[in-house]
Amino acid sequence: MHVLLTAGPTYEPLDPVRFLGNRSTGKMGYALAEAFAAQGAEVTLVSGPSQLPDPASPRVRTVRVETAAEMFAAAAAVAPGADVWVFAAAVADYRPAQVAVEKIKKSGDTMTLELVKNVDIAATLGQSKRPEQFAVGFALETTNELAHAQGKLHRKKFDLIVLNSLRDAGAGFGHDTNKVTVLDAAGQIVNFELQSKADVARGLVRLILARLPISTP
Protein backbone atom coordinates (compact mmCIF):
# COMPACT_ATOMS: atom_id res chain seq x y z
CA MET A 1 0.00 0.00 0.00
CA HIS A 2 1.26 3.46 -0.91
CA VAL A 3 0.30 6.50 1.16
CA LEU A 4 0.67 10.12 0.07
CA LEU A 5 0.90 12.32 3.14
CA THR A 6 1.34 16.10 3.34
CA ALA A 7 2.56 17.74 6.54
CA GLY A 8 3.82 20.97 8.06
CA PRO A 9 3.26 24.56 6.97
CA THR A 10 3.97 26.31 3.70
CA TYR A 11 6.00 29.51 3.51
CA GLU A 12 5.04 32.07 0.87
CA PRO A 13 7.93 34.50 0.25
CA LEU A 14 7.38 38.24 0.41
CA ASP A 15 11.01 39.22 -0.15
CA PRO A 16 14.39 37.49 0.42
CA VAL A 17 13.94 37.91 4.20
CA ARG A 18 10.23 37.67 4.99
CA PHE A 19 7.45 35.19 4.27
CA LEU A 20 3.81 34.48 5.10
CA GLY A 21 3.43 31.29 7.09
CA ASN A 22 1.66 29.67 10.01
CA ARG A 23 2.43 27.93 13.29
CA SER A 24 2.32 24.32 12.08
CA THR A 25 5.31 22.21 13.14
CA GLY A 26 4.50 19.06 11.16
CA LYS A 27 4.40 16.88 14.30
CA MET A 28 1.01 15.31 13.54
CA GLY A 29 1.86 14.55 9.93
CA TYR A 30 5.26 13.08 10.77
CA ALA A 31 3.67 10.89 13.47
CA LEU A 32 1.17 9.66 10.88
CA ALA A 33 3.98 8.81 8.47
CA GLU A 34 5.68 6.67 11.13
CA ALA A 35 2.38 5.02 12.08
CA PHE A 36 1.56 4.08 8.49
CA ALA A 37 5.08 2.75 7.97
CA ALA A 38 4.76 0.62 11.12
CA GLN A 39 1.74 -1.02 9.49
CA GLY A 40 3.78 -1.92 6.41
CA ALA A 41 2.79 0.93 4.11
CA GLU A 42 5.17 2.76 1.80
CA VAL A 43 4.81 6.48 2.54
CA THR A 44 5.68 9.55 0.51
CA LEU A 45 5.80 12.41 3.01
CA VAL A 46 5.59 15.80 1.31
CA SER A 47 6.71 18.18 4.03
CA GLY A 48 6.67 21.93 4.20
CA PRO A 49 9.36 23.73 6.23
CA SER A 50 9.78 21.85 9.51
CA GLN A 51 12.51 21.54 12.11
CA LEU A 52 11.71 17.85 12.53
CA PRO A 53 14.19 15.29 11.20
CA ASP A 54 13.06 12.96 8.43
CA PRO A 55 11.18 9.94 9.82
CA ALA A 56 13.60 7.12 10.57
CA SER A 57 11.61 4.35 8.90
CA PRO A 58 13.05 3.23 5.55
CA ARG A 59 9.45 2.94 4.35
CA VAL A 60 9.07 6.74 4.46
CA ARG A 61 10.42 8.88 1.62
CA THR A 62 10.47 12.55 2.57
CA VAL A 63 10.11 15.26 -0.06
CA ARG A 64 10.92 18.73 1.30
CA VAL A 65 9.12 21.73 -0.19
CA GLU A 66 8.51 25.33 0.83
CA THR A 67 5.54 26.91 -0.96
CA ALA A 68 2.01 25.75 -1.65
CA ALA A 69 2.81 25.55 -5.37
CA GLU A 70 5.79 23.29 -4.66
CA MET A 71 3.69 21.10 -2.34
CA PHE A 72 1.00 20.76 -5.00
CA ALA A 73 3.52 19.77 -7.67
CA ALA A 74 5.11 17.15 -5.40
CA ALA A 75 1.74 15.74 -4.29
CA ALA A 76 0.31 15.70 -7.81
CA ALA A 77 3.28 13.65 -9.01
CA VAL A 78 2.56 10.95 -6.43
CA ALA A 79 -1.25 11.02 -6.08
CA PRO A 80 -2.20 8.90 -9.12
CA GLY A 81 -0.24 5.91 -7.82
CA ALA A 82 -1.16 6.24 -4.14
CA ASP A 83 -3.87 4.18 -2.48
CA VAL A 84 -4.39 6.60 0.41
CA TRP A 85 -4.12 10.39 0.47
CA VAL A 86 -3.76 12.17 3.81
CA PHE A 87 -3.71 15.97 3.70
CA ALA A 88 -2.36 16.95 7.13
CA ALA A 89 -0.40 20.04 5.98
CA ALA A 90 -1.44 23.57 6.92
CA VAL A 91 -1.27 25.08 3.44
CA ALA A 92 -1.39 28.85 2.98
CA ASP A 93 -4.60 29.91 1.26
CA TYR A 94 -2.95 33.00 -0.25
CA ARG A 95 0.48 34.20 -1.35
CA PRO A 96 1.88 37.65 -2.14
CA ALA A 97 1.07 38.73 -5.68
CA GLN A 98 4.60 40.10 -6.07
CA VAL A 99 7.82 38.82 -4.49
CA ALA A 100 10.35 41.59 -4.04
CA VAL A 101 13.85 40.85 -5.32
CA GLU A 102 15.42 42.94 -2.55
CA LYS A 103 14.41 43.35 1.09
CA ILE A 104 11.41 45.67 1.40
CA LYS A 105 12.52 48.76 3.29
CA LYS A 106 10.39 50.47 5.90
CA SER A 107 8.50 53.42 4.43
CA GLY A 108 5.49 55.23 5.88
CA ASP A 109 3.14 54.18 8.67
CA THR A 110 1.27 51.50 6.72
CA MET A 111 1.93 48.96 4.01
CA THR A 112 -0.65 47.22 1.84
CA LEU A 113 -0.03 43.72 0.49
CA GLU A 114 -1.88 42.26 -2.47
CA LEU A 115 -2.48 38.55 -2.03
CA VAL A 116 -3.60 35.99 -4.61
CA LYS A 117 -5.19 32.62 -3.97
CA ASN A 118 -3.05 29.48 -3.91
CA VAL A 119 -4.16 26.25 -5.52
CA ASP A 120 -6.37 24.16 -3.22
CA ILE A 121 -4.28 20.99 -3.22
CA ALA A 122 -6.84 18.59 -1.78
CA ALA A 123 -9.77 19.92 -3.81
CA THR A 124 -7.82 19.92 -7.07
CA LEU A 125 -6.49 16.40 -6.62
CA GLY A 126 -9.95 15.29 -5.48
CA GLN A 127 -11.30 16.00 -8.95
CA SER A 128 -9.28 13.08 -10.31
CA LYS A 129 -9.69 10.75 -7.31
CA ARG A 130 -10.65 7.22 -8.30
CA PRO A 131 -13.30 5.22 -6.38
CA GLU A 132 -10.71 2.83 -4.96
CA GLN A 133 -8.58 5.65 -3.57
CA PHE A 134 -9.18 6.85 -0.01
CA ALA A 135 -8.73 10.51 0.96
CA VAL A 136 -8.41 11.99 4.44
CA GLY A 137 -8.40 15.71 5.17
CA PHE A 138 -7.62 17.81 8.23
CA ALA A 139 -9.48 20.90 9.41
CA LEU A 140 -8.33 23.34 12.08
CA GLU A 141 -11.29 25.50 13.07
CA THR A 142 -12.05 28.18 15.67
CA THR A 143 -15.84 28.62 15.21
CA ASN A 144 -18.70 26.35 14.04
CA GLU A 145 -16.16 23.57 13.98
CA LEU A 146 -18.37 20.62 12.99
CA ALA A 147 -20.26 22.53 10.30
CA HIS A 148 -17.07 23.84 8.69
CA ALA A 149 -15.43 20.40 8.80
CA GLN A 150 -18.47 18.70 7.27
CA GLY A 151 -18.60 21.29 4.51
CA LYS A 152 -14.93 20.75 3.70
CA LEU A 153 -15.39 16.96 3.70
CA HIS A 154 -18.08 17.14 1.01
CA ARG A 155 -16.49 19.89 -1.10
CA LYS A 156 -13.13 18.17 -1.32
CA LYS A 157 -14.44 14.60 -1.72
CA PHE A 158 -12.80 13.33 1.45
CA ASP A 159 -13.75 9.94 2.86
CA LEU A 160 -12.82 11.12 6.36
CA ILE A 161 -11.93 14.47 7.88
CA VAL A 162 -9.99 15.03 11.10
CA LEU A 163 -11.12 18.09 13.04
CA ASN A 164 -8.84 20.02 15.38
CA SER A 165 -10.16 22.89 17.47
CA LEU A 166 -8.00 25.65 18.91
CA ARG A 167 -10.54 25.77 21.75
CA ASP A 168 -9.08 22.53 23.15
CA ALA A 169 -6.15 23.02 25.52
CA GLY A 170 -3.13 20.94 24.51
CA ALA A 171 -4.34 20.45 20.93
CA GLY A 172 -3.34 22.09 17.67
CA PHE A 173 -0.08 23.68 16.60
CA GLY A 174 3.13 23.22 18.55
CA HIS A 175 1.92 20.68 21.10
CA ASP A 176 3.12 17.11 21.53
CA THR A 177 -0.48 16.14 22.33
CA ASN A 178 -3.66 16.36 20.31
CA LYS A 179 -7.41 15.92 20.63
CA VAL A 180 -9.37 15.32 17.43
CA THR A 181 -12.78 14.42 16.08
CA VAL A 182 -13.10 12.29 12.96
CA LEU A 183 -16.14 12.64 10.70
CA ASP A 184 -17.27 10.71 7.63
CA ALA A 185 -19.75 11.51 4.86
CA ALA A 186 -22.51 9.53 6.58
CA GLY A 187 -22.29 11.75 9.65
CA GLN A 188 -20.56 9.22 11.90
CA ILE A 189 -18.25 10.76 14.48
CA VAL A 190 -15.29 9.26 16.35
CA ASN A 191 -13.70 11.27 19.18
CA PHE A 192 -10.06 10.92 20.23
CA GLU A 193 -9.43 12.29 23.72
CA LEU A 194 -6.28 14.27 24.52
CA GLN A 195 -3.21 12.05 24.14
CA SER A 196 0.20 12.11 22.50
CA LYS A 197 0.28 12.83 18.79
CA ALA A 198 1.99 9.46 18.29
CA ASP A 199 -0.97 7.72 19.95
CA VAL A 200 -3.46 9.81 17.97
CA ALA A 201 -1.61 8.88 14.78
CA ARG A 202 -1.73 5.17 15.57
CA GLY A 203 -5.45 5.42 16.30
CA LEU A 204 -6.12 7.33 13.09
CA VAL A 205 -4.16 4.82 11.01
CA ARG A 206 -6.14 1.93 12.51
CA LEU A 207 -9.38 3.77 11.73
CA ILE A 208 -8.29 4.51 8.14
CA LEU A 209 -7.13 0.95 7.48
CA ALA A 210 -10.44 -0.40 8.74
CA ARG A 211 -12.29 1.82 6.23
CA LEU A 212 -10.20 1.05 3.16
CA PRO A 213 -11.91 -0.49 0.13
CA ILE A 214 -8.64 -2.33 -0.61
CA SER A 215 -6.77 -5.10 1.16
CA THR A 216 -4.47 -3.78 3.88
CA PRO A 217 -0.89 -4.83 4.58
**The CATH fold of domain 2-102+111-211:** Rossmann fold (3.40.50)
pLDDT mean over 178-190? 91
CB 46 within 8 A of CB 75: yes
Is the pTM value of this prediction over 0.85?
yes
Per-residue pLDDT tens digits for 20-59:
999 999 999 999 999 999 999 999 999 999 999 999 999 9
Domain range list for the chain: 2-102+111-211
Task: List the catalytic residues.
Answer: 22
